[in-house]
Amino acid sequence: MDRRTFLQRSGGLAALLAGAQLVGGDPLEGGVAGAAARLVPADFPVGTPILVLIDLAGGNDATNLVIDPNDPWYYDQRQGHGAIAIAADQLLPLKGTTKALNPAFAWLAKRYATAGDVAFVLGSGENVAHEFSHFAAQHYRQAASFSPSVTTGWLGRFNDLMAPRSPFASVSTSGVHPALLAAQTPVLSVPSVQNFDFTIGWEWQDDFRAALQQMAVPSWAKGSGGLAAQQNLASTLTAQVAVAGAWNETVANTFDSTDIAQQLSTAALLIAAGIPSRTYVVTYGSFDTHAGEDAAEDTLFGNLDAALGQFFAAIEATPRAADVVVLCTSEFGRQQTANDSAGTDHGQAGLDLLVGKKVRGGLYGLPPKTAPADRLDDALVPTVDFRSTYATVLNHLTGSTAVAQELLFGTFEDLGCFR
Amino acid sequence: MAAIDAGAADESRERPRFWGAGATRVSSNPGQIAHIWRRLGFGPTAADLAHGLAIGPAALIQRLLNAKMTTPTQWALPTGETWETMVEYLGRELNLMAYSPNPLQERMAWILRGLVVVGMVDAVNFDQFQQYTTLLRTNPLGSYTALLRATAVSPAMMVYLNGYQNQVGHPNQNYARELMELFSLGITNPVTGAKNYTQQDVVEVARALTGYTLDWQKGTISFDPTQFDSGSKTFFGVNQGNADLNAVISAVSRHPSYAAFVPARLYRELTGLQPSPATLKQLGTLWTSSGNLRAVVSAIVTSPTFLSPAAIGSKVKTPVELLVSGARICNFNLGTSDYGWLLGSYMNQNPYQPPNVAGWPAGRVWLNAGVTMSWSGIVDDLVHSARSQEGGLVDQIYATSKPAQAVSTTLRLCGLTGASPSTLKALTNFATFEAWDVNRASGLLALALLSPEFAIN
């Protein structure tokens, strides 16, 4: 069966059930075979909270996203954003606050004012390592730990707890995001819903698939690369029919062709189809705006804003409209003094953005102090530990503060961003 | 790269048991020969295995180490800036990786591509990118310090990390940081754990790197003293006077962590294991401030650890490694297809666009559905090409006539020297599912290339 034939044959629930049957009789590990049974909607009922994390990779300049038009240091030519600061009359006011949004966020500003379900956590960052390196900072963020021995991601640990070994538990729309790395639960990477299938030569069909299934039966030693490769093949085979069956051309066509819109389209299609994943991670950027930041942000922010609008329009046409929360976060903010190439270098405090019907809109955290004397190597000093945002989200996802404590290796304040 | 990676951590902590319990061990020796080819090149053919077995692992390693460097004439890389040239160039590069008479040169150039990283993004043009790949391919077993100097002033690097925009006044810290963090020192010393530099050092080094400007018409870099910060700079705890770019590279090459950082990376790349402090110290004495790549690589691959069971099979093939090794096995001409879009959009390893300045991740992140399904599409191409070759792989498998023998022949032709009971059962069942014919033979080849064993490096 070629891709076209396959896609014609597959669709909706029939495909989900076919997926369940595909692995039903296989001697796979209980978790993998059991996962097919979890496809039944009763095991992932409407009302199950779903997180879509958008990683603004490269260090988003929070200072140029939520802007304080009354802060003279923002506009300062010598020690502020100067040439790349955005004039007050172009900003989009955040209703009821003294802050304003970058003009690229037209949809978000309107949503903030009308739906009241957009929250910004100001000053989010870390005061543990004061890390200016992308890769060290990303590690801390993804692991939610400052210990080099932690090799799982915070959402991977969440999935190990909530849906251990389910091939559907965690979806990454761009490769495998490290935040999803788990001890047991595989990461389902979905580069495209439409083309989510093996290519199998015309000479062989079911016998070839059967052989792939047989090769995936675990037989390498625990912990070995061979076993990991077998498990990947098994979970890929299990997920394949259900994921491809989530394709919906009408919905897909409502999304832009930009990278971020396409990734959010994947998430929306899978959520709409009832794929039992509580966690989606989207990697977007680069936000590493060392030069030409103003022009870069017009595109980066503008495409994100449009894609968020398309995503929520798609989700709100499904029964899971109230279940989905989007979290945008980044490894750090940027320095306050613009360099001579109209950019900013690596900084410290950034911001987190939450959107979704269960979000209680508003500004959270505390705006960092911007005067040069209050900065750390020209960067804003964080006022909120990023793990507080994680704890807030985990508390919402699980309804229990105990889970966040366990997964984050400590107690972090719930910021109260959810209704 | 510091990003978390369960696979990489596993590689360092546990004894890889890939060829352990449950394996059908043909013999340890073919496993070593295949391993040498996977790590010093891009995987063996059956002929490579036979040749390696005849001369033995030590002689094979020496032969690969001492192969004559190939020259630009042999590379025959196309020039030009058109889209067609880019496609042709990628195909030619992949063919070089698969078929160069000096496999280690290509392996090392590829390792360096993931270490001294330039992405063809933003304003980096293809002409500049070609100059960069040439720098890496010319002598990837020479002086790493010389390579740092050459890449530092290369237009590709200057544009990629904003070096040409780093001017006196408000310097741009981008290259200064990544030069130290990713290209030469790392954040901390791997033995002592001490920080290698401070944020203030980044600022001061950035000042020393000022003064370079880009000619947009010609795409070339030149030094403009009026854009250079000629004040005195202090970094690494020392007043470095009126240091410039060359002084920065010299200071970096004398930093205590310089002798540890790249040697440790090479050790991980080649063995799949973490070096012990004692090993690192030993490699550091060979490395010296010149960054002697040949001495360090030679020491690593002639050490007993390199051929140990812990090292063999301890890595995961990246998409580029899957493609190149599969093509070499199937005698497939990578210059005739454009796999750039598939590698990039579906497998996340566009050779011209690493995800960021840290290059590509390593380890088990590559064991994922997107890669596996895309690989099945490439395998389909490889197998149908092999099928059309007279006396090619499919013919050789078909000629075995006995299905049981066909399975072991297929594994050997794919450079696989061990297989799990699951894979053996799958191949055997498939071979006997219908009457033995060329369809069965080509299907066996496809399955072997899609097997969990083939995904391991």
Residues in chain B within 8 Å Cβ distance of A288: 174, 356
E strands, A315-417, in order: 324-329, 350-355, 362-365, 384-385
The 10s digit of each residue's pLDDT in A140-177 is 999 999 998 899 999 999 999 999 999 999 999 999 99
**How far is residue A87 from each of residues A62, A372, A390, B54, B242, measured CA to CA in Å?**
16, 21, 33, 74, 39
- Note the pLDDT tens digit of each residue in A375-412: 999 999 999 999 999 999 999 999 999 999 999 999 99
Residues A223, B14: C-beta atoms closer than 8 Å: yes
What end-to-end distance do the CA atoms of chain B give, in Å? 19
Asked if B250 contacts B258 with a C-beta cutoff of 8 angstroms, the reply is no
pTM (2 decimals)?
0.90
Helical H segments across A341-400, by residue range: 386-398
Nearest-CA residue of chain B relative to A173? B370
Instruction: Report the residue of B422, B425, B438 to disrupt the A interface, i.e. the one with the largest count of A CBs within 10 Å.
Output: B422
Of A178, A183, A228, the CB nearest to B4: A178
E strands, B1-62, are: none
Q: What is the percent of chain B where pLDDT is above 70?
A: 94
pLDDT at residue A22 above 80? no
Q: How many CB atoms lie within 10 A of CB B356?
A: 22
Mean predicted confidence (pLDDT) in A345-366: 98
Q: What distance in Å separates residue B73's CA from the closest CA in chain A?
A: 37
- A-chain residue closest to B355, CA distance: A286
Q: How far is A207 from chain B (nearest CA, A)?
A: 7
Using DSSP bridges, classify how beta strands A279-284 and A170-172 pair: parallel, antiparallel or unpaired: parallel
- The overall average pLDDT reported for chain A is 90
Q: Which amino acid is at A198?
A: F
3-state secondary structure of A346: strand
Query: Distance, in angstroms, between A66 CA and closest chain B CA?
Result: 24
Residue B454 contacts residue B420 (beta carbons within 8 Å): no
Give residue A10's pLDDT: 33
Longest dimension (CA), chain B: 81
User: How far is residue B261's CA from residue B405's CA, in Å, rounded to a whole number?
Assistant: 47
Instruction: For residue A60, give the amino acid letter.
Output: N
Q: Where in chain A is the domain with CATH 3.40.720?
A: 48-193+249-408
B123 to each of A290, B83, B135, B190, how far by Cα in Å?
Answer: 13, 16, 19, 35
Structure confidence at residue A202 (pLDDT): 84
Helices B293-301, B57-65: axis angle to 10 degrees equals 170
What distance in Å separates the CA atoms of residue B254 and residue B242, rounded to the nearest whole number? 18
> Measuring CA to CA, which residue among B43, B35, B65 is closest to residue B324?
B43
C-alpha torsion angle, residues B126, B132, B135, B140 (rounded to 10) = -110
Domain A48-193+249-408: state its class.
Answer: alpha beta
Residue of A25 and B152 predicted with greater confidence = B152
Torsion angle, alpha carbons of B443, B447, B448, B451, to 10:
180
Residue of A189, A190, A205 best to disrupt the B interface, most CBs of B under 10 A:
A189
Confidence of residue B454 (pLDDT cuts 50, 70, 90): very high
